[in-house]
Amino acid sequence: MKVDLEDSGLAFAVYRSLIPEAVDPPSNKVKVAVSLESTILKFYFSTDSLSSLRAAINSYLRWVMVAVESLRKPFK
């Protein structure tokens, strides 16, 4: 799965925020690798279960969305 964030600084910050999840996943059902090429986050998923794959994809997309929204929102 690829996600283009169109900003290299933002992409790097989001990438760094996802590393702990990939290194120490909440579940052993799915193995995930994350890489960064310029502005594009690349996710590699490995699992035997379609439902586990769907759950992992949903989780990572949600984490990307939350990180992007948090980094783009001005502090008050």
**Tell me: the pLDDT tens digits for 23-43?**
888 778 999 999 999 999 999
pLDDT in tens, the chain (76 residues): 999 999 999 999 999 999 998 888 877 899 999 999 999 999 999 999 999 999 999 999 999 999 999 988 776 6
Residues 6+ apart with CB under 8 A from 18: 34, 41, 60, 63, 64, 67
At residue 67, the pLDDT reads: 93
pTM of the model: 0.87
CATH number of 2-72: 3.30.310.50
